Amino acid sequence: MGVPWLDQPLSLAWHPPNECSLNNTAQCEYQLGYWRNWNIADYHYALPAVAFFLVAIVLFAIANIAEEFLPKVASQSGLARRVKRVARYLSYRNFRISFLDWNSAPLGLLLLGSVGLIYFLCMTLVPQPYYWPNTPTVDHGDQPPIVTRSGWLSIACLPFVFATAGKSNLITGITGVSHEKLQVFHRWISYAFFVTALVHTFPFIIYHISIGDMVDQWNTQIYYWTGVIAIIAQAWLTFASFGPLREWCYEWFKFSHFAAALIFMIFLFFHCDGEFSAWPRDYFVATGVLFSVSWLHRQIRIYFEHGFGHKAELRLEANGFIRASIPTSATWRVGQHFFVRFLTPDLHALTTHPFTACSLPEPADMHDSKANELVFYIRPRGGMTARLARSLEASGQRSLRVLLDGPYGGVDMRKLESSHRTVIIAGGSGAGWTLPIVAAHLRKLGFLTSSGQGDVFPNLRLILATRNIDTKQWFEDAVRDLISTFDPEKRHSLAEVDIFYTGNEPSFERPQLRQRSSEKVVSDEDSVSKAIAAKETISSTSSTSSSNRNIEVRHHTARPDLLSMLNEQGASLNSGTQLGVYVCGPLSMQAYVANAVAAQQLSTMKDGARDIYLHMEHFSWA
């Protein structure tokens, strides 16, 4: 037929007849029973699985539409507020295993994943039989029923694995869930895909070993060796994506992931063949369409929207971060990230890396084609970023052409702009992520002033915990420089800044004691080493007297008591006010903050006029 390895021609219309292979009416009725009819098993297993995924997407889409378009009066009703509190509690509450440095997904996602687990287990294991009751006189075939249903459940996952993997995808557009947050669904659907593939594989082997023709099947049937290659590639895709392995060598992970995905799709295509009831063409077509649209949209943005003209000016900051500054006409929001390709003369030019924008574009009324400066603060780790850091140590500064892909993700600006109080918490290299939020807050103050709201300014508290003393000083200078661009007469009311130097304390597992009034107070010029030895909190005001840097910054040498701070902020809210909490830091910090805010969701159920919102940014999610 001109197509190697396929028993049936490629066609979008072909469908094998729904016929019984036996002559006995009772036996045919058994073979063609609802849960056993392999000719139309796609209707009984694959399409319901597709419907299951679509229902979940629709529910998220409804929530997104309601958030966007629900009238303010309706959203402020008692019922709406209680529903919102419960939804946020489920979205924030997580569980942590400290010795593994591992945080679970939020409770709500765990519940949704449990529903999916129960669904796939029931669809695979509840229908009977697992194997055909073949006898010397009655032969229902060599494909056990559990193989049929698990195979179709597996193939139904295929389009959704790709749909949740893309950076530009329809699910994000419909639900408002950014692509990095879809990664948890990408992984979970991949697990279901892989486990059902294994259930599809081993009963075949067990059956043919039991009748003694396994070797003959392997030598004569294409299904076996193509299936084995596909499932080996799938195993690599599944297990090599675990966080520690992914972070160990990100460039190798990306290359091997794409290579394994290509091998998997090729051999899965030939493995499926035309033997099934409705050749799985529809699922491959859907997958191909979703992948192609996502890929083409990204390429259009990279090469036509952003183009080849961007050049990054690179230099090393005092704390070892790489500062990449890119003049651009692009726009972005707070917390959004770009995938950046540095066009170096080596293989690293083939890789892209996600970096969060640490600056904001100019306001629309001040914007021109050359006004925006896109800034990234990059912590060197390994691979490309480590090589850039070494080259900057030698040269001090350099320019590199870059390709930009983005922006993606970001903070919900409606929540940021409507917050009466804002708490920003960062740990370590999350320091740079806070700067656009501070800038957005300061711009909001300017808007309030111009709109005639006088001195009623939203409150901002900025908290950094770091073990790197250079980052401590760099962050303080960066915040001072940022605030110095705004009205100096209002500068004392703009923000409370607390910098916690934590030395070698590794985690946020234990809450710290609140500051005591008897704790020693020292100045910035005091030795930090003495403060660490004394294990006391430092509270100091900068001694700098210049008018453009006159802002109070408090320094501490204890780990911050985030629970007390958040409880204090939440308790001080007035009726009808909103607190926005934004955090970027290590997993221990994120778990601690998320669970503290989740607990406050329950406390505000009694006085629902108070509103507390949380946004978490991960160090690594790709």
List, for residues 334-354, the tens digit of each pLDDT value: 999 999 999 988 877 888 888
Q: What is the pLDDT of residue 526?
A: 39
Residue 364 has pLDDT above 80, yes or no: no
CA–CA separation, 192 and 198 (whole Å) = 10
- To the question of domain 413-507+521-617 being in CATH 3.40.50.80, the answer is yes
Q: Answer for the pair 472, 557: CB distance below 8 angstroms, yes or no.
A: no
Q: What is the pLDDT of residue 622?
A: 39
- Over residues 203-249, the pLDDT tens digits come to 989 988 988 888 888 888 888 888 999 999 999 999 888 877 777 77
Q: Please tell me what DSSP assigns to residue 355.
A: E
Q: What is the pLDDT of residue 259?
A: 94
The dihedrals phi and psi of 137, each to the nearest 5 degrees, come to -110, -15
Pick the residue with more confidence: 382 or 432?
432
The dihedrals phi and psi of 481, each to the nearest 5 degrees, come to -65, -40
Q: What's the whole-number mean pLDDT along residues 282-292?
A: 91
Q: What is the pLDDT of residue 454?
A: 42
Q: What's the whole-number mean pLDDT along residues 391-406?
A: 90
Residue 413 has pLDDT above 60, yes or no: yes
Q: Which residues pair with 543 in a beta bridge?
A: none
Q: What's the whole-number mean pLDDT along residues 495-521?
A: 56
Q: How far apart are the first and last CA of the chain?
A: 43
CA–CA separation, 5 and 11 (whole Å) = 15
Q: Which residues pair with 463 in a beta bridge?
A: 425, 498
Question: For residue 414, how many other CB atoms are within 10 A of its CB?
Answer: 11
Q: Which residue has the tokens 């399409």?
A: 47
CA–CA separation, 205 and 200 (whole Å) = 10
Question: Of 23-27, 43-47, 425-429, which range is least confident?
Answer: 23-27
CA distances from 578 to 150, 414, 415, 421, 438 (A): 48, 12, 9, 7, 17
Q: What's the whole-number mean pLDDT along residues 98-112?
A: 90
Residue 550's pLDDT band, with cuts at 50, 70 and 90, is: very low
Question: Of 122-126, 461-465, 576-580, which range is least confident?
Answer: 576-580
Q: What is the pLDDT of residue 512?
A: 43
CA–CA separation, 604 and 85 (whole Å) = 8
Residue 484 has pLDDT above 90, yes or no: no
Residue 324, classed as helix, strand or coil, is strand
CA distances from 278 to 8, 47, 149 (A): 11, 12, 13
Residue 2 has pLDDT above 70, yes or no: no
Residue 520 has pLDDT above 50, yes or no: no
For the chain, the C-alpha Rg in angstroms (whole number) is: 29
Tokens at residue 391, please? 């080259």
CA–CA separation, 237 and 240 (whole Å) = 6
**In 489-586, where does DSSP find H-type helix?**
528-534, 562-571
CA–CA separation, 233 and 247 (whole Å) = 20
Residue 542 has pLDDT above 80, yes or no: no
Q: Which residue has the tokens 């021109």?
A: 368
Q: Which residue has the tokens 């294990």?
A: 535
Tokens at residue 600, please? 């406050």
Q: What is the pLDDT of residue 332?
A: 92
Q: What's the whole-number mean pLDDT along residues 87-94?
A: 92
User: Which fold would CATH assign to domain 310-409?
Assistant: Elongation Factor Tu (Ef-tu); domain 3 (2.40.30)
Provide the sign of the torsion angle of the four alpha carbons 326, 327, 328, 331, taken in this order: positive
Pick the residue with more confidence: 609 or 392?
392
Residue 122 has pLDDT above 90, yes or no: yes
Residue 109 has pLDDT above 50, yes or no: yes
Q: Which residues pair with 556 in a beta bridge?
A: 500
Torsion angle in degrees (nearest 10) through CA of 144, 150, 153, 154: -120
| Amino acid found at 275 | E
Question: Of 58-67, 109-118, 412-421, which range is least confident?
Answer: 412-421
| Angle separating helix axes 250-272 and 383-395, nearest 10 degrees | 150
Residue 113's pLDDT band, with cuts at 50, 70 and 90, is: very high
Residue 384 has pLDDT above 50, yes or no: yes
Q: What is the pLDDT of residue 428?
A: 83
Distance of CA 465 to the CA centre of its chain: 23
Question: Of 15-24, 42-51, 180-189, which range is least confident?
Answer: 15-24
Residue 609's pLDDT band, with cuts at 50, 70 and 90, is: low
Residue 445 has pLDDT above 80, yes or no: no
Residue 381's pLDDT band, with cuts at 50, 70 and 90, is: confident
- Over residues 263-281, the pLDDT tens digits come to 999 999 888 865 544 557 7
Q: pTM for this structure?
A: 0.85
Q: What angle do CA 252, 253, 258 make, to 5 degrees?
A: 100
- Over residues 176-216, the pLDDT tens digits come to 898 888 999 999 999 999 999 999 999 989 988 988 888 88
**C-alpha closest to that of 384 among 342, 427, 426:** 342
Buried b (16+ CB within 10 A) or exposed e, 282-311: bbbebbeebbeebeeebeebbeeebeeebe
Q: What's the whole-number mean pLDDT along residues 527-544?
A: 35
Q: Answer for the pair 319, 471: CB distance below 8 angstroms, yes or no.
A: yes
**In 355-452, where does DSSP find H-type helix?**
383-395, 413-418, 431-450
Q: What's the whole-number mean pLDDT along residues 502-508?
A: 59
Q: Answer for the pair 461, 422: CB distance below 8 angstroms, yes or no.
A: yes
Q: Where are the domains of the chain?
A: 40-220+274-300, 310-409, 413-507+521-617
Q: Answer for the pair 375, 304: CB distance below 8 angstroms, yes or no.
A: no
**C-alpha closest to that of 426 among 212, 253, 581:** 581
Residue 102 has pLDDT above 50, yes or no: yes
Q: Answer for the pair 428, 585: CB distance below 8 angstroms, yes or no.
A: yes
How much is the mean pLDDT over the chain?
A: 81
Q: What is the pLDDT of residue 370?
A: 57
**C-alpha closest to that of 150 among 196, 201, 205:** 196
CA–CA separation, 335 and 318 (whole Å) = 23
